[in-house]
Amino acid sequence: MSDSSVRVRFAPSPTGMFHVGGARSALYNWAVARQSGGTFVLRIEDTDTARNREEWIDGIIGALAAIGINESDPAFEGPYFQSHNADRHREAAQQLFEAGKAYYCDCTREQLQQRTGSEHLGYDGFCRDRELAYEPGRALRFRTPDEGQTVVVDLVRGEPAFPNSAIEDFVIARGDGSPVFLLANVVDDLDEGITEVIRGEEHLSNTPKQQLLWEALGARPPRWAHLPVIVNEKRQKLSKRRDKVALEDYLAEGYLPEAMVNYLMLLGWGPGDDREILPYPELERLFRIEDVNTSPAFFDVKKLSAFNGEYVRALAPETFIALCTPWLTAPHASWRPEAYDQAVFERVAPLAQTRLTVLSEITSYVDFLFLDQPVEDEASWRKAMKPGAAELLADARAELADALWEPEALKTVLETVAAKHGLKLGKAQAPVRVATMGRTVGLPLFESLEALGRERTLSRIDAALAKSAAE
C-alpha cells in the first residue's frame, strides 16, 4: 500500500564490519520504504568515539550499496550522524527535567547495594523526591510511572505489555551531563520523523523505556517491529567471536550480492509458497513486515551456498567470466600472473560455471591450466595410481600422441585403452586425470585435455610415469 509518510531507519554503529543480521534489518526496512513509497533513513550512531573508525562508516555505506540500498535511490535519505545531534539530546534531557519527568540522582552503586541488600535489584527511587539540581557526578533519571503498564504495538509480536512497576527509574544522562544512547536514539528518531522502527529482537527489552520517553517528550511513538534472532547450526545467536558474520567476508569469498539478498530476506519471512529463489523486486513486492516469524532464524551456510550456486549458474556466460577474472588474475592466485591465459579460461568457463557454488572455487577448478605442473594431491595420487595404473597411462600416452585433439576423439582413445585393460571408462579416467590435472575430481576430462593441449598433456603423463617408476 502506498503511503509516502512512512519513514523507516537503519541505524548501525561504525564499530566493526557489516553484520549479516544488520544486513537483513536493512533489507526489511528498505522493502517497507520502497513498497510504500516512503523513505529509508540511514543514521550512523557514532557516539562511541573509542570504538568508531572512519573506515567502518565507509564499510557500512559500501555494504548497503552492494545489497542494492543505494544513496542515489529516491527512497534513500542520509546518512545522518548521531554525534551531530548532541546539543539536541542535551536539550531533550533538560526538557524532561524541567517538566518534572526526570530527576537528578547522586546514589552510588555501593549505597544502592547497602539499601537493597543486593547488587542485582534495580534502582529503588531514593532520590525521586529530593529535588536535586545538576552537579557533576549526578545522573539524570527518568521518572517511570508507578502504576499501569506500557503496551508496545509490535507489528511482529502483537502487543506485549510491560508493567511499569517492573521498569526502574532508568538513567537518561550521565554524571557528566551527556545523554545516554537510549535517550539519543529516541530524540533522533523523533527529529527524523521515524514512523516505523524495524530492528532485531535484542532491542525489545528497551522498547518500553523508549516508548515512555517518546510519550514524555509529547510525541506519538512509532510502530515497532522486532525481528527474530539469527542463530547458527547449534541454535546459538550468531556471534562475531564464534561465527562468520561479516557480509564483506561472504562477498569477498565469492558469494553474489543477489544471492545474499535473496537468502537474507528469507531469514524469518517467506513469500507464502514453495518458492525460494526470487529476484529482489519480487521479494520486495511480496514482503509484509506483519508476516515475519517470531521464531529464531537459522543461518544455514550450506543453504546459502546452494542459493549462490543457483545464481552463479544463472549468470550470462560473459558475466561469469568477468566476475571470475579478478580471482584468476589476483596476486594470490596459485600461478605466475604471466601464465594466465584469458582465451584458455574462456574455453572451460561454461564447464566451471555449472559446478561452482562460490566464485572463489574457480582457482581450484582451472589451476591445472596455468601451473607449470599440476597440484600434487597425494590422496588423489594414491587413490588413482593403483596396480596396473602405470601400464594404462603408458598405453594412453602412446595413443594420445597421434590422436585428433578434440573431446570426442580423446574420449574414443581412452575408451579403447580402457577396453584393453578390462576397465570401464570411468575407472580408466582416474589415472589420466590425476596425471594431468592433479586431482580425482574437477572439470570434464576430455574438454580439459583439449584446453591443456597435446604437448603439456603428454609431458604431464611422462612425469607421472617417472614418479610411479620411482616409487
Burial class (CB in 10 A: 0-12, 13-18, 19+), 310: middle
Q: Give the annotated binding-site residues.
A: 105, 107, 127, 129, 240
What digits encode the pLDDT tens for the residues 46-88?
A: 988 778 888 899 999 999 999 999 999 999 999 999 999 999 9
What proportion of the chain, given as a percentage, has pLDDT over 90? 88
8 Å CB contact between 292 and 28: yes
Range with lowest mean pLDDT among 123-132, 150-159, 205-214: 123-132
pLDDT digits (tens, 9 = 90+) for 311-332: 999 999 999 999 999 999 988 7
The answer as to whether 433 is a domain residue is yes
Residue 297 has what DSSP assignment?
A: E
Whether residues 366 and 385 fall in one domain: no
User: What backbone phi and psi angles, to 5 degrees, belong to 77?
Assistant: -135, 135
On whether residue 128 sits in a domain, the answer given is no
3-state secondary structure of 33: helix
197, β-bridge pairs: 224
- Tell me the one-letter amino acid at 215: E
Does the residue 320 lie in any domain? yes
Output the pLDDT for position 2. 66
Does the pLDDT at position 1 exceed 70? no
Take residue 245 and report the three cell numbers written for it: 558474520
List phi, psi (to 5°) of 230: -100, 130
Whether residues 358 and 402 fall in one domain: no
Pairing type for strands 171-173 and 196-200 reads unpaired
Name the phi and psi angles at 41, rounded to 5: -100, 125
Q: Which of 346, 370, 394 is the last residue of a domain?
A: 370
- CATH number of domain containing 457: 1.10.10.350
Q: Assess whether 393 and 425 both reside in one domain.
A: yes
The rounded distance, in Å, linking the Cα atoms of 250 and 82 is: 29
Tell whether 99 is covered by a domain. no
pLDDT at 332: 72
- Could you tell me the three cell numbers for 224? 515497532
Nearest to 210 by CA among 291, 142, 279: 142
On average, the pLDDT of the chain sits at 94
Q: Please tell me the predicted confidence (pLDDT) of residue 390.
A: 96
Binding residue positions for ATP: 240
Query: Domain range holding 405?
Result: 378-470
DSSP 133: P
Quote the pLDDT of residue 110: 87
What the block records as the C-alpha cell of 467 is 614418479
343 plus 426 within the same structural domain: no
Give me the sign of the Cα torsion angle 382, 388, 392, 394.
positive
Q: Which residue in this structure is represented by grid cell 525460494? A: 276
pLDDT computed for residue 471 by the predictor: 79
Q: Which of 209, 237, 240, 427 is catalytic?
A: 240
In DSSP terms, 139 is beta-bridged to 105
Q: Give how far Cα 16 sits from Cα of 13, 69, 208, 253, Å.
A: 8, 19, 28, 18
> In this model, does residue 124 exceed pLDDT 90?
no
**Residues annotated in the binding site for Zn(2+), as ranges?**
105, 107, 127, 129
Which pLDDT score, from 0 to 100, does residue 116 have? 76
Query: Do 458 and 383 reside in the same domain of the chain?
Result: yes
Cell 539478498 belongs to which residue? 261
Cell numbers for 28: 526489511
pLDDT at 120: 60
Spatial contact of 296 and 272, defined as CB atoms under 8 Å apart: no
**Is 165 part of any domain?**
no
Give the pLDDT of residue 112. 85
Residue 181 has pLDDT above 90, yes or no: yes
Q: Which long-range contacts (CB under 8 A, 24 or more apart) does 65-70 make?
A: 66/247, 66/251, 66/257, 67/23, 67/26, 67/27, 67/247, 67/257, 67/260, 67/261, 67/264, 68/30, 68/257, 68/261, 68/280, 69/26, 69/27, 69/30, 69/40
SS3 146: coil
pLDDT one-digit tens code per residue, 436-452: 999 999 999 999 999 99
Q: Which of 370, 390, 415 is the last residue of a domain?
A: 370
Say how many domains are in the chain.
Answer: 2
**What pLDDT, in 10s, does the model give residues 362-405?**
999 999 999 999 988 899 999 999 999 999 999 999 999 999 99
pLDDT cut 70: percent of the chain above it: 99
Contact 153, 224 (CB under 8 A): yes
Q: What are phi and psi of 228, to 5 degrees?
A: -65, 150
User: Is 240 one of the annotated active-site residues of the chain?
Assistant: yes
Please tell me the predicted confidence (pLDDT) of residue 121: 66
Nearest-angstrom CA–CA distance, 336 and 343: 16
Q: What is the 3-state secondary structure (H, E, C) of 400-413?
A: HCCCCCCHHHHHHH
Q: Is the pLDDT of residue 177 over 70?
A: yes
Nearest to 464 by CA among 428, 438, 429, 427: 438
End-to-end CA distance of the chain: 74
Query: What local confidence, expressed as pLDDT, does residue 101 receive?
Result: 97
Same-domain check for residues 466 and 383: yes
Domain boundary (342, 370, 398) is at 370
Asked if residue 136 belongs to a domain, the reply is no
pLDDT of 3 over the 60 cut: yes
Q: Which residues contact 256 (CB under 8 A, 6 or more apart)?
A: 308, 311, 312, 323, 359
Residue 119 has what pLDDT? 64
Asked whether residue 382 falls in the same domain as residue 454, the answer is yes
**Residue 58 falls inside a structural domain:** no
> How much is the pLDDT for 357?
97
Asked whether residue 347 is assigned to any structural domain, the reply reads: yes
